[in-house]
Amino acid sequence: MPIPTCPSGCDADLPIVAFNECAPEVNSGQISVIYLTNRNYPLTDWTDLVEWTARLSNTSTDSSAIRTLFVTGSWPVPEKAEKVISLGRTIYSPGKENLAFRIDETNQINHDFMRELQCGGQYTIWPATGQLGDEGKLIWGGNAGIEAAISIGQNVPESTDENITYDGTAKWTAKFPPERTGTDLIS
């Protein structure tokens, strides 16, 4: 669905909803994959598996390559500033999105990747609850993806029973959540 068109006045039609008492659709949580590329390299058709396959590579030096990061992550409700204006009306700022993720494969290549990301900058991401082709999983971002600032660092726990991880956040501001589709619908 494209970006919603907001009403310009006080009267607006309510959007439709769908509930099913006997067979409700629910979706599992946990961001488990983040697809990441350099800024300004959108997809032409994010529902085209051929395009994804041509761009997905964790080793390519092509600027438009899309990396596949296996993560454990969460994406809570965005923070919005509330402001009361004249006539007691309440308005809200665009949402400050904060996707937190953890990488638990801490080999030397991933360590070097984490260090490079500490240079800062904006990246384009497509967070997903599963890999492309997984049935019942979701991916967000549309053709353009989500332009996000990424912060990441090494977490070395005190206990030998715990593993070193690379903990990060992807942050951006948006009025609406990004569009989504099922990863199994990408074909």
Beta partners for residue 83, in sequence order = 91
Mean pLDDT by 10 residues, the chain (187 residues): 78 87 92 96 94 96 96 96 93 95 98 94 95 91 96 97 97 95 82
- This prediction has a pTM of 0.92
Give the DSSP H or E segment for 52. helix 49-55
Q: How many other β-carbons are positioned within 10 Å of the β-carbon of residue 135?
A: 9
Q: Is 152 contained in some domain?
A: yes
Q: Is 5 contained in some domain?
A: no
74 close to 100: Cβ distance less than 8 angstroms:
yes
Q: Is 7 contained in some domain?
A: no
Number of structural domains in the chain: 1
Q: Is 122 contained in some domain?
A: yes
Q: Is 52 contained in some domain?
A: yes
